Each structure stands twice: as C-alpha cells, then as structure tokens.
C-alpha cells in the first residue's frame, strides 16, 4: 500500500532532484535532502525491522542519531556493506540499497517472532539463568542463540574505501550547530579565537532552523528566519571552520576529542572511488563549548513500540524539514507543551490530527489555546493504556488518570489512528560532558540531569545545559559566553524574545495501566527489548546498583546505548526502590557517542602500514635468496632459507647440519647494542648484571644475565670491554628498547652519582656471524690482516680490525656452541661483508641459516632464550645457572630477591632437558608435563619450552620447566597429548659437547 505522504514543499528538499533507492528489494523514490527514514515515511513505510529478543515488528521512532529501531544493512553482500546504519541519519543517494536486519526470512514474516509469544518465559536474565546449566550444554545452546541473535552482518570482503586521521588544533571547539552553537561560534570567531564548529547533521541550525511558527520569535522575526541570517553571517568569518556530517565520538581529558567526519556516505557508490570516506579528527581545543542539545523522551506504556509510534518531535521534523506526514490519522500523547508545537506544525502543513492525549489535568498556554481554537480534541488528564495493530499501529486505548497519577480510573475509550507521536519531555544530551569527567546534578522540578561540575576550560550551553525554552537559552547565553571567553561584549545583549512555551510537565516514569504489570509490555529499551517489567524483576531479585540492573536487563546496552530509555529505567528503579534519582546517579556514558567504523579507527594504518617494521642492512640479500621471514618485535628476521621446494623442517635440518659440519652464516644485526662509557662503567655493570665485571680485561667478552628487582631473569647477552671505560653491551632482539629504558631509569633515579653514558647503537652496526669448524678459514680470508691464531684471538675475546680500510669489531663469541666469529661493521657495509663471506665460504659450503636453525643449534647446547625458556617467573637458580650469580658482590639488581622465602623453594619450576623414549618423537612446545597420569585432578608439573629434532644428535631434544626438576635427573615423566601419551626422561639440558671442545676446535 504505497502512498505518497509528501505534503507541502520544504525548502530543505529539492523536488527537482528525484532519487531512486531500494529497500528490501523494492524500488522507491525520494528527493535530494531526504534521509532513508524520511523517504520511507513519504512512501508510507513504517515497518523497517524486528526487535532483538522478541522479534517484534518495529518502525522508525526518531529523526536523529538516537534512533533505536530503524537500523538497516546497506548494500548487502558487497564489499561496501555496512550493518547497523541508522535510517534516520543516512542520506539517500541514487542506487542506495538497504535491507532490514534481525529478521528471517523477511521483515513481514519473521520466524523469530514466535519469541514474542514465548515472552513470558523470556524474562530479564533468562539467558544467564537458563543456559548456564548444565554447564556442558552451553555449546549446544550457544549455537542456537548465536544463530537467532545478532544485529546485521559484518562485511566479509576487503574494505575498498580510504580512511584517514587528522589532527586539528583550535582555540575554541563548539559541538553542535543548533541556535546556541551558532551564536557561540559567531561570538568566539568574531573575538579573534580560532574556532571550529562541528555538527553531525548535513545542515546547520539544529531544530530551530525548521521552526516555522509565530509562537517563537527573536527581534520580531520568526526564529528560523533570524537564525538563517546568523548562519549566513558566520559562513563568511575567516577564522571559523565549520564541519557538518561530523559527529564527536569521544571527549577525553585535557580537551582532547575524537570526531568522525563523514565525506562520501551520502554520494552514489560509483562516485566514491579514490576519495576519503571518513576522517577521524583528533581535536585538541583550548576551550570547548558543548551545545549538543537534548533528546525527547518517549512515554512508557503497554505496547509503546508498534510501528507508527514516533517521538512527537520527530513528527514535527518530518513535516517541517522533509515535508512528510508520518500518518493520515495522527494522535499526539504528551506530558508537556512540546507536542503542541508539533501539533501546530502539522496543522500548518495540513496534516490531520485526530486528538491530543495530555497527562496533565490543568493546562494553559497560548499554544494550547490555538490548538483548541482549531477544534482539535484534547483529552486532559488521560493516559494511553494500550495500543493495537501488529505491523502498524491502528488504535489506542485511553483512560483517565487518578489525581496522584498512580492509577487509571473510569472506562476505557478507543481511538483509531495510524500514527502516534509521544512526548515525555526532554533529556539534556550530557553524554560528552560526562565522558570528559563532568559531574551531573539532578534537577527535581523537571526531573533532568544537568551539568554541575565542569572540568577545566569547558562549558555547556543551550538545552544540553537544561535550558529548554528559547527565552531561557537566549537570556543566558551572552552572560555565559562573556565569562567563559573572557570578552566584553556579544551581539546578543538585548535580544527581544517571544516564546509561547509553558514549562509545566507531569512526569510519570511508568504510566499506570488497567492490567497487571506482568501482562504488559511497556518498553524502556527498544533496541534490546527491555521492558519496565524486566527492571522490576531485577529489583525483586535483589539488584540495586544501576550498573547491575543495566547489565542484568541489558537496558542501554544496544548500539544506541539507550539514549531514549535510560532516564525511564532510572526513574522506575527510583520509584520502585524508594531511592532518590540524584542519589542513584546515572550509568557511565562511554565513548563512542555514536558508533565508529573500524576503518575510521585504523585510518591509513592498514596492510603494510599497520605497524612499522625494521629491516637489517642485509635484508635485501635475504629477499633475493628466498628467505622466509619471521617477526621478532618490529624486526623482520630471516627465519630459514628453503632450497628447491624444501619445507621448513627440511631446510632447518640441512642448515643445522651444515653449520656444525662446516660453516654457517647468520645475520645477527637485530641484537640490541648499547654503548656504555664513563669512569663508572664497570661499577655500573656490576650493579646491573648478576656476575662480576671489574676484573674483565680490555679486549675480553663476557656473558651476562640481567634480573628484575624481583629476581626474575629479564635479559641476557654478551658484553665486551673495548677500553678501560668503554663497553659494548648486546641485548636480546626484542629486549633492546626496554633494557635501555631500565638502565637509564636506574642511572637517573637511583644512581645519579655514577659517571656513565648510554647510547643505543643497534642500528649503527651490521652484525655478520660465521660459525662452524671452517669459520676461521673463512673470516681470516675476509680480514687477512688480523691474526686469528687461538693464542692471539681466543674464545670470548675481541679485536679491532679493518676490512678494505673500513673499521670493524670482531668478537669471537658463540651462541651455537661452534667455533664462531661476529663481525660488527658500520651498517651500510653490512651487505658487502656478508657477500664477501659467502664468496670465500663457497668452497666450505657456507650455509646461510635463519632464526629457526639458530634456535635449534643453541638448544643442542642447552643455551636458554629469554622469553621462550623463561617467562618472568624464572630465577637464574631455576635455570640451573647458579654459576653466573656472584656470591661475592654485595648487591646487584634482583640479588635480595634470590633468597626470599618463595624463591628458595626447592619445588619451584626448574629448567631441565627432556629426551623422548622414541627418539623420533618431537614434543610440542607448550605441552604439559605430568608424573602420574592416573591421579585426579592430574598434577601439572610444568611444560615444554623448546623442542626440536636434532640432525646432529639424530634424536629429538627438548627443554622444559618442571617442578623440582633439578632433583629429577633420569626420572621418567609423561606428556599427555590429545590422542596419546609420550614418555620422556629428565636429562641434562646440555645435549651436545658438554666439554666445549667445539668452541676451540
């Protein structure tokens, strides 16, 4: 039953610009300027979706970002599809395709609707209570719940759009371009402040701009005409930037705000390519003026959720701004004067009003008198008790309210209608204010929370500050602005304001009914299907805190964050529990105020730009030689070099064997390097490492273990004494930055008396490590001038040298257990030294190996990797590395913690070697280790930390941590896996060359 409900031309709608769009597969027409909601209403379509829990038919409820019901999926099954888009916000464009969510097979016939009839068995907390027992049934329940729940479908294809981030710095930010915001912007900008004005809508002027009645005048002009002139003026001010379609999502401390600027969501898809879709604005403002307006409250009565029931202010906006009638037989239901404003607007547009139901008994204002003059029937002191009509409201039932408003009296009367506008008064939009740390107070006269205590440098003006009427706004604004901006004058000192609005209101949070509450469905949160009955149930079951009631009933937890119903939820709790509203407080309003897309949040940080990555100077060689890479911190490290279709296992076996049989070469440039200088450098190392450093001779290297103050291993590496007061420390690849930070911390805060200077030189040097029995033959050809004899250059020593006149440092140190050398050279020569090693190493089958082989080789030697074999709960004693902990030193970081009652326990997890019964069986890293498989509950003794098949030993080897492992040498343990148990024997963690013969071979 398509009808045209476009009534009278609106200047905001371009009727010469016709736009076709699809809703649920059918083509409709609208005009430029329409939202999806206004275009659907013009086609007499109210039913747009189904509710979350009961699958009740739901229609368009509002005309703004607070919309709970009319959320749709755009461009289903395409890369640009987007769920949960509010029909009230999306502007139509040629080719727009929208569809209903949360219904199957269609919005008109929805199988989930059966939940509506099952609702007596689906009360608040139903899921918590029912599906948690028996616990092992959860998987079955979950399948069905997931299938029937969910709001929309997330996209599965890559997002074709571009997003970006932008910083904006300004003197004054104004949020909201309603009448207050416009006046504030003009005042700030005219006084020389660099000003930014943002509004979520595509137009300026808020709700005043479509106000067209003689009842609201400024300086003897209709308020909208007056405001239009102001808007035209501010557009010309140079130091004022105006951003429409821009919604502030978050307001953090120190006036740091995040806003989403929408750039292409309102233009046809084919015009969007290569344009930025949305921008995340990171705004830092010296001062912030919040002018976010207010939201109209619904009224809470039985069946208040049918399609065709809208906020009264939405009816007015659809009529005045879009020129659309929401129905042909309209009824308004109110507890305040706002609905009469709507009535006059509708009347002026020739839209029929059947009746007005007013809670208030005695009412009197010019607005009401005008309505009565036009013979519109007003039922004073009445309330709606029920509505009918499944997919569209068709009838309301009304009854008279008792004097105290607690009961309904007299007989029931029915009035037929196709649209009901409801108004429960107004709630200031204080969400951003509270996000910023502002504190609210409760104003009893009209039952609203308003800003009370402001953080520094911000102010709220207009109706978000509780000034609802035009005369209140205009009489306060100039004083507030002068004080806040510290200026002498505004343009708004002597405005003549005329407003017929009377502020009287009869606030009843839950309207009485002739039925028992258990038989009614008065919805408080439309999106999450939470009713007043659910809230009362939660209170009966003992929930008291508003935060708990919220979670139990899910009130306010939808994508709209309960913008409409939160106040009623509070009101009902207050009335039922007898506590005062002001004492209950509100739930926390968390960012974002309106949802953000993931695209906006990540901006350009996608794909290869997701994070920075660091490359060694030899990176290009690894690429040319087909290395596979692994991420180590931000580094890309060569992982292994597959040859002729090898898989990882085969490549690693080949590399590991070559390194021990002849020669291997590793790019070790990523190891952290810290240059340490100063007269106290040795003393400093004494304090940060567990072993002693004073006696280390110049030209010698030493392995060091660094602890945290709690005694746990933090980092390790080799440090070399280059000179009397000069060392170079190496750290793990991942630990470089934090180790430097920790050393700086101690130097600056605990030991400022030490003469020590630290410089990070990780990126300054490339490190080429050559190992294996033939390593000496190779490096001695690369550096022919250096004496490589064992007498001159023994293990754990260092030499300065030159390669073709370029200075380099050569260390004879080993992480593999093989005879090996590390050449450190200025980074930009790294690749040529590497290539030189490859060239002369050819005759020795020099084999490049990656991190995986490095890990395997060091595991054969029982060398730990900090972070793999340790996890911040391991002391050096747990690692069986007692030898490195100095007994003589008075103090070092972590020393005292090594003999706390907990760290001296014998049954701590300790590092051991593990050998499998079947030498071909390789354990899984992370697998649990147990002693007695039959004991219940089974006792976990520890887990496998490193595990490999060793090609050199021709058997599986592993390291693991086991409770009391130190005293378990030779003991048999079990590793239970999904389908089998693996028998292992505890062994010495050093599997190969315990005598260190190879180091000196």
Partner 1 sequence: MFIINCPYCGKREQSEFKAGGEAHIVRPKQPTELSDDQWAEYLFMRKNIKGIQFERWVHTHGCRKWFNVVRDTSNDVIKAVYKMGEKPPTK
Out of 486, 901, 920, 979, the residue judged to bind partner 1 by CB under 8 A: 901
CB of 875 to partner 1, least distance (A): 14
- Do the bridges between strand 940-950 and strand 928-930 make them parallel or antiparallel, or are there none, so unpaired? antiparallel
Residue closest to 255 by CA, chosen among 210, 289, 224: 289
CB of 746 to partner 1, least distance (A): 8
CB of 725 to partner 1, least distance (A): 22
CB of 284 to partner 1, least distance (A): 8
Out of 220, 647, 749, 979, the residue judged to bind partner 1 by CB under 8 A: 749
- Do the bridges between strand 309-311 and strand 419-423 make them parallel or antiparallel, or are there none, so unpaired? parallel
Read off the tokens for 925.
Answer: 């890293």
| Region near partner 1 per CB under 8 A, out of 312-320, 325-333, 578-586, 742-750 | 742-750
Bond preceding residue 134 cis, omega within 30 of 0? yes
- The residue (of 142 and 750) whose beta carbon lies closer to partner 1 is 750
CB of 748 to partner 1, least distance (A): 5
Measured from the Cβ of residue 859, the count of other Cβ atoms closer than 10 Å reads 25
Report d(CA 812, CA 822) in Å as an integer: 6
Interhelix angle for 566-577 vs 532-540, to 10°?
40
Out of 128, 144, 254, 598, the residue judged to bind partner 1 by CB under 8 A: 254
- The residue (of 596 and 958) whose beta carbon lies closer to partner 1 is 596
Per CB under 8 A, does 603 bind partner 1?
Answer: no
Name the DSSP letter for residue 282: E
Number of separate helices (H) and strands (E) present in the chain: 23, 50
CB of 764 to partner 1, least distance (A): 18
Per CB under 8 A, does 456 bind partner 1?
Answer: yes
- The residue (of 123 and 437) whose beta carbon lies closer to partner 1 is 437
CB of 78 to partner 1, least distance (A): 37
Per CB under 8 A, does 611 bind partner 1?
Answer: no
Report d(CA 717, CA 884) in Å as an integer: 12
Report d(CA 773, CA 821) in Å as an integer: 11
Per CB under 8 A, does 890 bind partner 1?
Answer: yes
Residues 6+ apart with CB under 8 A from 440: 430, 433, 434, 449, 450, 451, 452, 585, 586
> Are the beta carbons of 847 and 663 closer than 8 angstroms?
yes
Determine phi and psi for 503, rounding to 5 degrees: -80, 0
- The residue (of 335 and 690) whose beta carbon lies closer to partner 1 is 690
Report d(CA 44, CA 22) in Å as an integer: 15
Find the binding residues for partner 1 in span 278-317 (CB under 8 A): none
| Region near partner 1 per CB under 8 A, out of 252-260, 650-658, 814-822, 826-834 | 252-260
Per CB under 8 A, does 455 bind partner 1?
Answer: yes
Per CB under 8 A, does 252 bind partner 1?
Answer: yes
| Region near partner 1 per CB under 8 A, out of 193-201, 460-468, 544-552, 740-748 | 740-748
Determine phi and psi for 471, rounding to 5 degrees: -70, -35
CB of 195 to partner 1, least distance (A): 20
- The residue (of 285 and 398) whose beta carbon lies closer to partner 1 is 285
| Region near partner 1 per CB under 8 A, out of 88-96, 337-345, 746-754, 835-843 | 746-754
CB of 743 to partner 1, least distance (A): 11
CB of 596 to partner 1, least distance (A): 17
Residue closest to 88 by CA, chosen among 379, 295, 226: 295
Cα-Cα end-to-end distance for the chain: 94
Bond preceding residue 592 cis, omega within 30 of 0? yes
> Are the beta carbons of 64 and 42 closer than 8 angstroms?
no
Per CB under 8 A, does 900 bind partner 1?
Answer: yes
Out of 160, 253, 350, 410, the residue judged to bind partner 1 by CB under 8 A: 253
Residue closest to 111 by CA, chosen among 72, 140, 147: 147
Read off the tokens for 900.
Answer: 């706390």
| Region near partner 1 per CB under 8 A, out of 208-216, 368-376, 411-419, 897-905 | 897-905
Per CB under 8 A, does 494 bind partner 1?
Answer: no
CB of 215 to partner 1, least distance (A): 43
> Are the beta carbons of 72 and 322 closer than 8 angstroms?
no
Residues 777-782: contacts with CB under 8 Å, at least 24 apart: 777/844, 778/663, 778/837, 778/840, 778/841, 778/844, 778/846, 779/810, 779/821, 779/823, 779/837, 781/840, 782/823, 782/833, 782/836, 782/837, 782/840
**What residues form DSSP beta bridges with 844?**
none
Per CB under 8 A, does 752 bind partner 1?
Answer: yes
Out of 362, 785, 891, 995, the residue judged to bind partner 1 by CB under 8 A: 891
- The residue (of 509 and 589) whose beta carbon lies closer to partner 1 is 589
Read off the tokens for 930.
Answer: 């147990």
Per CB under 8 A, does 750 bind partner 1?
Answer: yes
Out of 241, 328, 646, 710, the residue judged to bind partner 1 by CB under 8 A: 710
- The residue (of 705 and 973) whose beta carbon lies closer to partner 1 is 705
| Region near partner 1 per CB under 8 A, out of 309-317, 643-651, 892-900, 973-981 | 892-900
- The residue (of 413 and 900) whose beta carbon lies closer to partner 1 is 900
Determine phi and psi for 141, rounding to 5 degrees: -60, -45
b/e map 928-964, b = 16+ CB within 10 Å: bbbbeeeeeeeeebbbbbbbbbbbbeebbbbbbbbbb
Binding-site residue total for partner 1 (CB under 8 A)?
23
- The residue (of 901 and 920) whose beta carbon lies closer to partner 1 is 901
Determine phi and psi for 991, rounding to 5 degrees: -95, -20
Report d(CA 524, CA 565) in Å as an integer: 5
> Are the beta carbons of 758 and 740 closer than 8 angstroms?
yes
- The residue (of 14 and 745) whose beta carbon lies closer to partner 1 is 745
- The residue (of 753 and 978) whose beta carbon lies closer to partner 1 is 753
Report d(CA 859, CA 851) in Å as an integer: 12
Per CB under 8 A, does 709 bind partner 1?
Answer: yes
Print the binding letters for residues 527-566 with partner 1: x by CB under 8 A, - otherwise.
Answer: ----------------------------------------
Out of 220, 748, 936, 979, the residue judged to bind partner 1 by CB under 8 A: 748
Residue closest to 114 by CA, chosen among 72, 138, 148, 143: 148
| Region near partner 1 per CB under 8 A, out of 7-15, 248-256, 791-799, 970-978 | 248-256
Report d(CA 517, CA 50) in Å as an integer: 23
Out of 443, 799, 895, 971, the residue judged to bind partner 1 by CB under 8 A: 895
Per CB under 8 A, does 256 bind partner 1?
Answer: yes
Per CB under 8 A, does 683 bind partner 1?
Answer: no
- Do the bridges between strand 497-499 and strand 216-218 make them parallel or antiparallel, or are there none, so unpaired? antiparallel
- The residue (of 328 and 710) whose beta carbon lies closer to partner 1 is 710
Tell me the DSSP string of 94-107.
Answer: TT-EEEE-S-SB-S
Out of 123, 202, 437, 964, the residue judged to bind partner 1 by CB under 8 A: 437
> Are the beta carbons of 190 and 237 closer than 8 angstroms?
yes
Out of 134, 158, 578, 741, the residue judged to bind partner 1 by CB under 8 A: 741
**What residues form DSSP beta bridges with 944?**
960
Per CB under 8 A, does 630 bind partner 1?
Answer: no
| Region near partner 1 per CB under 8 A, out of 149-157, 894-902, 956-964, 972-980 | 894-902
- The residue (of 493 and 753) whose beta carbon lies closer to partner 1 is 753
Per CB under 8 A, does 744 bind partner 1?
Answer: yes
Q: Which residues would be at the binding site for partner 1 (CB under 8 A)?
A: 252-254, 256, 437, 455-456, 709-710, 741, 744-745, 748-750, 752, 890-891, 895-897, 900-901
């Amino acid at each position: 039953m398509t009808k045209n409900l476009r009534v009278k031309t609106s200047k905001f709608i371009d009727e010469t610009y016709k736009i076709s769009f699809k809703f649920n597969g059918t083509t409709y027409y609208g005009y430029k300027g329409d939202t999806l909601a206004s275009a659907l209403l013009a086609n007499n379509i109210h039913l747009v979706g189904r509710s979350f829990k009961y699958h009740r038919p739901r229609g368009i409820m509002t005309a703004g970002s607070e919309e709970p019901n009319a959320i749709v999926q755009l461009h289903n099954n395409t890369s640009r599809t987007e769920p949960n888009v509010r029909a009230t916000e999306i502007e139509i464009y040629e080719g727009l395709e929208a569809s209903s969510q949360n219904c199957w097979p269609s919005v008109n016939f929805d199988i989930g609707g059966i939940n509506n009839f099952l609702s007596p068995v689906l009360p608040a907390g139903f899921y918590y209570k029912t599906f948690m027992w028996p616990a092992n049934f959860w998987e079955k329940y979950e399948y069905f719940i997931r299938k029937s729940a969910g709001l929309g479908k997330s996209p599965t294809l890559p997002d074709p759009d571009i997003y970006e981030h932008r910083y904006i710095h300004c003197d004054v930010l104004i949020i909201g371009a309603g009448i207050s915001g416009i006046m504030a912007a003009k005042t700030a900008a005219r006084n020389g402040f660099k000003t930014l004005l943002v509004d979520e809508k595509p137009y300026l002027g808020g709700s005043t701009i479509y106000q067209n009645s003689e009842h609201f005048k400024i300086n003897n002009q209709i308020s909208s005409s007056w405001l239009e002139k102001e808007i035209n003026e501010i557009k010309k001010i140079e130091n004022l930037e105006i951003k429409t379609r821009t919604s502030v999502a978050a307001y953090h401390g120190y006036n740091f705000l995040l806003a989403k600027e929408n750039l292409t969501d309102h233009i046809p898809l084919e015009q969007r390519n290569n344009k930025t879709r949305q921008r995340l604005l990171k705004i830092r403002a010296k001062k912030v003026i919040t002018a976010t307006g207010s939201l109209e409250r619904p009224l809470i009565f039985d069946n208040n959720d049918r399609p065709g029931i809208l906020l009264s202010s939405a009816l007015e906006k659809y009529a005045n701004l879009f020129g659309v009638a929401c129905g042909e037989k309209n009824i308004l239901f109110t507890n305040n004067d706002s609905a009469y404003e709507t009535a006059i607007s509708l009347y002026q547009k020739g839209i029929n009003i059947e009746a007005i139901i007013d809670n208030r008994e005695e009412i009197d204002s010019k607005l009401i008198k005008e309505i009565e003059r036009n013979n519109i029937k007003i039922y004073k002191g009445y309330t709606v008790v029920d509505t009918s009509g499944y997919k569209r409201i068709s009838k309301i039932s009304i009854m008279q309210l008792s004097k105290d408003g607690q009961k309904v009296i007299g007989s029931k009367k029915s009035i037929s209608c196709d649209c009901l506008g409801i108004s429960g008064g107004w709630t200031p939009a204080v969400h951003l204010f509270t996000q910023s740390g502002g504190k609210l107070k409760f104003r009893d006269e009209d039952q609203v929370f308003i800003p009370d205590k402001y953080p520094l440098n911000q102010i709220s003006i207009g109706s978000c500050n509780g000034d609802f009427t035009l005369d209140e706004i205009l009489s306060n604004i100039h004083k507030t602005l002068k004080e806040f901006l510290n200026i002498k004058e505004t343009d708004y000192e002597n405005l003549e304001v005329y407003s017929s609005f009377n502020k009287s209101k009869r606030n009843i949070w839950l309207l009485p009914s002739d039925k028992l509450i258990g038989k009614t469905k008065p919805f408080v949160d439309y999106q999450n299907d939470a009713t007043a009955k659910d809230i009362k149930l939660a209170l009966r079951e003992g929930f008291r805190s508003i935060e708990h009631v919220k979670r139990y009933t899910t009130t306010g937890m939808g994508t709209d964050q309960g913008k409409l119903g939160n106040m009623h939820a509070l009101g009902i709790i207050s009335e039922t529990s007898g506590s005062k509203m002001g004492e209950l407080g509100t739930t926390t309003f968390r960012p974002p105020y309106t949802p953000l897309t993931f695209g906006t949040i990540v901006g350009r940080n996608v794909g290869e730009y997701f994070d920075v990555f660091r490359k060694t100077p030899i990176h290009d060689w690894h690429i040319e030689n087909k290395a596979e890479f692994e991420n180590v911190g931000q580094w890309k490290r060569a992982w292994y070099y597959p040859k002729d279709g090898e898989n990882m296992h085969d490549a690693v076996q080949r590399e590991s064997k070559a390194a021990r049989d002849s020669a291997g070469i590793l790019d070790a440039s990523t190891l952290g390097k810290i240059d340490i200088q100063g007269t106290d450098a040795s003393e400093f190392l004494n304090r940060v490492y567990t072993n002693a450093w004073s006696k280390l001779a110049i030209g010698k290297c030493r392995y060091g273990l660094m602890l945290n103050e709690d005694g746990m291993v933090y980092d390790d590496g080799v440090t070399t004494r280059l000179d009397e007061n000069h060392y170079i420390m190496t750290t793990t690849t991942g630990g470089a930055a934090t180790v430097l930070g920790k050393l700086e911390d101690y130097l600056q805060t605990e030991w400022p008396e030490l003469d020590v200077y630290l410089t990070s030189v990780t990126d300054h040097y490339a490190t080429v490590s050559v190992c294996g029995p033939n390593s000496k033959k190779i490096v001695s050809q690369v550096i022919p001038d250096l004496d490589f004899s064992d007498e001159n250059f023994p293990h754990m020593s260092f030499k300065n040298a030159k390669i073709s006149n370029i200075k380099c440092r050569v260390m004879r140190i080993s992480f593999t257990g093989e005879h090996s050398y590390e050449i450190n050279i200025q980074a930009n020569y790294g690749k040529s030294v590497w290539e030189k090693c490859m060239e002369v190493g050819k005759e020795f089958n020099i084999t490049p190996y990656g991190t995986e082989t490095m890990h395997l080789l060091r595991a054969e030697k029982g060398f730990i990797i900090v972070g793999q074999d340790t996890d911040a709960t391991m002391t050096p004693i747990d690692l069986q590395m007692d030898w490195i902990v100095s007994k003589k030193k008075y103090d070092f970081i972590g020393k005292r913690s090594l003999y706390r009652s907990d760290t001296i326990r014998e049954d701590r997890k300790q590092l051991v070697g593990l050998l499998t019964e079947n030498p071909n069986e390789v354990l899984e890293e992370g697998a649990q280790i147990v002693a007695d498989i039959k004991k219940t509950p089974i006792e976990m003794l520890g887990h496998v930390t490193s595990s490999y098949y060793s090609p050199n030993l021709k058997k599986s080897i592993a390291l693991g941590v086991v409770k009391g492992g130190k005293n378990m040498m030779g003991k048999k343990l079990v590793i239970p896996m999904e389908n089998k148990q693996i028998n292992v024997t505890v062994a010495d963690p050093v599997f190969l060359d315990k005598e260190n013969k190879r180091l000196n071979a």
